[in-house]
Amino acid sequence: MSQKFYGPLAVINFLLLSSLFRSGALNDVSDSKQAEELFKRLFIQQRVKQLEAVKRIRTLAGEKRQNLMIATAAESIFKVLKSSRSIVESSGYVPGLTSFPESQETREALSNILENTALFGELLLHFPEISHAVLKDSHEWKVLYEWSVRFSNQTELLDRITTTLIDLVSQELNITDRKPDFINPYYKKPAKKYVPSNFSENQIKKVKKKQKLPRGPRLSSSNIKYDL
């Protein structure tokens, strides 16, 4: 197997394993409001990495490899979603109702849900044929993912880019009604120009420096753009 195969898959695995949250950054923050703010910032950093990974998969991998990669990623994503869901549900945390959780275990489960929901959402929008096939093969995953999308949407912890991602994913999956102008441009047929999520070095630096919430993505009739 070539370098090209391991490249993007390694990136996905790295993303799945290297949640910034798990670096312990939040361990010492006991103030709930402070912890919530830090959590949101770390989440944005994780999302920037996700978008770079998706871009690499688009540009590096061939179709067969993309298939395998997404199937492999989905295994990990849904395993984590499943266990995190049961932790969160038994914790008493109710998104949008209870305050940011105190317990490290719940916080970690929460970040796992948001990160993995967003990551699969990116895969779903960028590789719709493959990702829909993955969900079609497993009713359990489909139900779990729909739960995750609704849950994430209710947390009020998402930045604007991710909120829009969740909105697009909900429409793509028909969880919510499709708006008249909804179109996912990443389908192979009919052929549409591919517009990558294009974070430049400078933009990424800007996020890291200012930690300000990114704007977009915006859905227009012909493309989806992530810009800061």
Ligand X SMILES: *[C@@H]1O[C@H](CO)[C@@H](O)[C@H](O)[C@H]1NC(C)=O
26 or 166: whose CB is closer to ligand X?
Answer: 166
Among 23, 83, 138, 200, binds ligand X (CB under 6 A): 200
| DSSP run (H or E) holding 219 | strand 218-219
Which residues, other chains included, contact 96 with Cβ-Cβ below 8 Å and sequence gap of 6+? 154, 155, 156
Rounded to 5°, the CA angle 174-147-160 comes to 75
**Residue 218 bridge partners (DSSP):** 225
Q: How far apart are CB 179 and ligand X at their closest, in Å?
A: 11
Rounded to 5°, the CA angle 162-34-84 comes to 55
Q: How far apart are CB 109 and ligand X at their closest, in Å?
A: 20
Q: How far apart are CB 195 and ligand X at their closest, in Å?
A: 7
25 or 173: whose CB is closer to ligand X?
Answer: 173
72 in contact with ligand X (CB under 6 A): no
Residue type, 120: F
51 or 149: whose CB is closer to ligand X?
Answer: 149
Please list every residue from 111 through 170 that binds ligand X, using CB under 6 A.
132, 149-150, 153, 170
Total residues in contact with ligand X, by rule CB under 6 A = 12
Q: Could you write out the DSSP letters of every residue in 129-182?
A: HHHHHHHHH-HHHHHHHHHHHHHHHHSS---HHHHHHHHHHHHHTTSSPPPTT-
Among 104, 198, 220, 222, binds ligand X (CB under 6 A): 198
| DSSP run (H or E) holding 188 | none
46 or 170: whose CB is closer to ligand X?
Answer: 170
Length of the chain: 228
176 in contact with ligand X (CB under 6 A): yes
74 in contact with ligand X (CB under 6 A): no
Among 173, 204, 213, 228, binds ligand X (CB under 6 A): 173
Instruction: Using CB under 6 A, list all residues that contact ligand X.
Output: 132, 149-150, 153, 170, 173-176, 196, 198, 200
